[in-house]
Structure 1
Amino acid sequence: MQEHVADPLAGAIVDGRYRIISRLARGGMSTVYLATDNRLDRPVALKILYPHLAADRFFLERFEREAKSAARLSHPHVVGVLDQGYDGDIAYLAMEYVPGHTLRDTLNEKGALTPRLALALLDPVVEGLAAAHQAGLVHRDVKPENVLMSSDGRIKIGDFGLARAASASNSTATLIGTVAYIAPELVSNAAADARSDIYSVGIMLFEMLTGRQPFTGESSIQIAYQHVNSSVPLPSSVVPGLAPDLDELVQWCTARDPDQRPHSATALLGELRHIRTTLSDRELDFRAAMAGPAVGGVPGSDTGRLGTQPINTLPAAAGAAAADDHSEDPNRTTVIAPSYQRTTAIPRTPLPQGPVRPQVPDGTLPAVPGAARPRGLSKRQERAWERERARQARRPAVALRPGNRRRRGVVWAVVLTLLAVLAATAGWFFGMGPGAPISIPDVTGRSSADAQALLQQRGLEFSLNEVFDEQIERGLAVGTVPSPPAQVRWFEPVTLIVSKGPELFEVPKVLGLTEEQAKAKLQAANLTAGQITREYHASAPAGSILGQDPSAGEHLRRGSAIDLTASAGPEPFDVPDVTGESVEDATSDLQREGLKVSIAQDRVYDREVDAGKVVSQSPASGTVVPGDTVTLTLSLGPRMVDVPSVVGQSVRDARRTLEDLGFEVDVRNFFFGGDDATVRSQDPDGGTAPEGSVITLRAF
């Protein structure tokens, strides 16, 4: 049953009470989650309305009324409604969680079921519907997907959470339901009552016996049209060999005219159990080797897909008319009309077509075994009539000893007197005596002792249950189960819930972790990371946690924030300038600042920097942090250049020649010859000299 799907609400807490674990399913108006009730420590199914419905005030008012109506229904074969409320823009309904699978899963796995298994599985479903109908609720969407089968063997009918009380039903119903199981009157826009659910039960029984749905088609309109205009075929036409009683039961439930169906689920339950006891073991355990093609469908249609699609409205061609209330959800349930509430002793009506149980004009079966067989019966009808006559014959019609009439009168008087006394005693017991209903007082916020004393004053027996609560202080009452203003009798259990105060969680140690690791560890401890302050640290890598407040070991409420101090790494500083220094001095200066030194493999000539000293560095400027590397380039000193002889050249030509070689020229003229003077001598003359050195010329 459970579908694990990622969801934004997973892990959230709704209304301070329900922690969402995972998403189970999505419907036409809501999403259903598996959640934990933190107050009572139990799993629940939490139905959360879609936001556009939760924003509709009129819808929410109806939602609350319907939830209260469904909560009053308590039956072992009906999924219970536990709570309803709001949390901001979230409207939710808490329901009993039934782990296991659905009847749909069983049909998908097994296909057609034996009559014995089909009737056994249907029995609790019909019993649950009978209880709901007696409470004034009608389901309107009975289908295998809503029959929940728990792992311990319990069977429950689900999704009564949106049924409306009969007293609140005053509008025409919208066409709602799942098209494969929808009753004809819903397609035709007639009012829904208990007999609409019975029609869906009949369709479901047909599918359980045959392994397929009676009507299929390429569209929802085609299927709905068949519900209105065609009779459901006999199961034996699909699975030959099924008992005639099963055909009759399906046809009785699925009559197109609601008046021709069982008037209540209670009447259907009695007939279903009667058939289970009268069929032979061979008939109950009959299993077809292979079922034939789907009846009433279109070859090749996708029965499993189309037959279970929800249907909202249909055009007039399918016999449907749009309802006035378009805000109704497509999967909601509605209520029984008042005229069908608390129906008692309503005889079963004849079937509209095919095999029927013979009836006399007053609508009852013949009471005398020797009654004349009605004329014009089919062979199947004759068999049904004979079975009924045999059953009636087993009932004694005449006493073996007539006895004394006066004595019988005395006996009847005594019996009636005893019955009157019993009735008066029961009336006193349940009206004014110990069985009288007691209103549960509101004890929220009272001390545990005061709350217990108040319950004892009312004569209520109760048990204590302590829970964590974020709002109510330790030792004060959170409330009761059931909640006020519910009424119980003195012998019915009541639970007093007392707060243990907010649940506290130990602060974990996160020093030395990275920011992401620290946040994850705090979240796992049900805490959160608060403000993060960053500080320079010479040795701690950037992003590691240096401090936390509060410190590890303290105990805080769920969701409390822990402020963190994270390292921003070493503090940056201006890179030192070591150009012109010897390699030894430069290396020492840089390492003193925590920097690493790298010597460039290639050295360069430099006129001004002596060989072996630093001529350049990288980076040359900007900021660095300890651990960064500075690359030094060393000087080869000035380049040595051959000095040419320029004696005999003009000063102009000699200057150009020497300067092109990188020398500086110092001219000393005699007799003011200027640039046209002739160089008579030079110093040095020949050999080599450092690039950039001065060559002295003498000219006249």
Structure 2
Amino acid sequence: MIGQTLDGRYAIRSRIARGGMAMVYLANDLRLERRVAVKVMHEHLAEDDNFTRRFEQEARSAARLSHPNLVNVFDQGHDLGRTYLVMEYLPSITLRELLKQQKSLTAEQSMEIGEAVLAGLAAAHRAGIVHRDLKPENVMLADDGRIKLGDFGLARAVSANTTTGQALLGTIAYLSPELVTRGVADARSDVYAFGIMLYEMLTGEQPFTGEQPMQIAYQHAHSEVPAPSLRSTEASPELDQLVLWTTQREPEQRPLDAGEALDFLSAVRRGEPGENATRVLPSDLGGTPTPSTTVLDRVQQEALAAGSAFTDGGSFAGTAEQTPAADPPVPAGPIELAAASAAKRRRRGVWAALIVAVLVVVAGGIGWWFGQGPGSKVAVPGVAGQDLAAAESLINEQQLVPEVFECSSLEIPAGKAVRTEPGEGTRLDRGATVRVCKSTGPRQLAVPTIVGLAQPKAQELIGSQGFTFGKVIEERFSDQQKGTVLAALDADGNGLGETYSEKGRIDLIVSAGGFPDVTGSSPEQAASKLREAGLEHAPEHNTEAYSDTVKKGSVIGIVPLSETVRVGDTVGLQISLGPELFDIPDVAGKPLQEAMNILSGAGFKPSTLVPDALRDFAKATGTDPGAGKRAPKGAEIRVKSTISL
């Protein structure tokens, strides 16, 4: 799909992710000039009406929702034989990727992410939408700090919550008991999945695991989720209660929806007293365990397995069938007793000496192996900012194997080492592979359309697209509205191409609006208007011209001294000479019609009192105004004449 354009609008640029139903691409919206994420259903699934229906259902479900913590859906369509969905592009990592990096999260991180997820989920529940696939893979952690919930591919209206006759939907590790046993899901099923996810954030592991999916599903249906504080010191009593409340096996004992769970978590984050914060919990949560849930420690379990029993006080006692072991025979006389004792001591001494010798050898071998031998670990050296060859040499000196890959960097010049994976100081076995990042310089980002935008909008767009706004280097007079961007330039003053370096500086040239209207003004008035517009008037650059519409001495217009006029430049004025005057030709003695034609050719409007029928018998005797006088073009000239019959 890369390089193709869907519906003549969405130009596919690169692949972002692959899922079970679809592939997600980064694309440019050519109509609105923005980056979007396009989710394209796999071609082999597009032929299945059920999959297509579910895919279109995601678009409808998500389009009904508008919330800061939900991924926005912009468009949906079918082109090139593919069904696709257009969504908000969010540079981010998923919660799953964060958990892989950190193993588990702090209480504050867990509550911040949990509150955002519940806020988005509550908006969906208020709109009558059940997500049904809540899991860390669907929680987006944006680079700018936003937290959003996405992927409504399994979402359905609350009124249509049964899945009878279908395979269980959602990831098995987060399925609620009612989905496992009855195939029914509602808002409380999403709340259960959230509780499992909160447990995983706090502890770094899921509460139920198994080799087969059905083993995990069975535990969801028949076991209680343990308190996270048993596995993590980050879990407070309030967070324990929230996990236990949201993961109750009976839906009636959970919060009604995400909104109720959000109220509780928000109260905990605000630090309200636990007594007030936990009033919403069912009364049967948080009490002491019933006798039926008593847990035997390992010693007791082993004792039971061996056939032993416990007294009422909890102490261990043998079973009734056990009988004391018979005492070993003792030599009857003192000589035999002494000999036996000495032999026993000798045997103990020999065994002790052998054991000590073996332990010394083993300890020495282990110490050598892990201290200086092949089994010893070495620290990954720091290579940031060094030449790639020097970085590889440092890694080789530690008896590690360098492997080069490329990555972008804002600080490190292209061609130099940026970092290592694992990071500096990590201790590894000798011979282990260390990946070295070779800088390709800053990332090359797509340049949005800036020309034609108002200056504040352009500055905001520059920052949001990953660039740095420099300054307005010039204001030019143009036919564009004042403040409109006329050009966007890079740090060297050149025009921008299709891509530009991340955080690169962008300067702007903006419009100062049109020239002030000075036509018909006096030169003094025109000069004042020019100063108000930021221009300087230079009288030595004034010109004069005839004008039929502007009276003599008034200003016809502005005389720019260059093709581009900037704020602060100097201009002249064009002063009117009034209408241009022309000499009236002498037509005396000429036939009347010829005289009138001469006057017309000179640009005047001739007239006569002689009727048309008699003009061939008339001669011109003069004009009014007279010959030699001056008049503007188009002026009426009366032709005097006599008639000879």
TM-score range, shorter chain: 0.3 to 0.5
Larger Rg, first or second structure (1 or 2): 1
Report 1 or 2 for greater relative contact order, CA contacts < 8 Å, sequence distance ≥ 6. 1
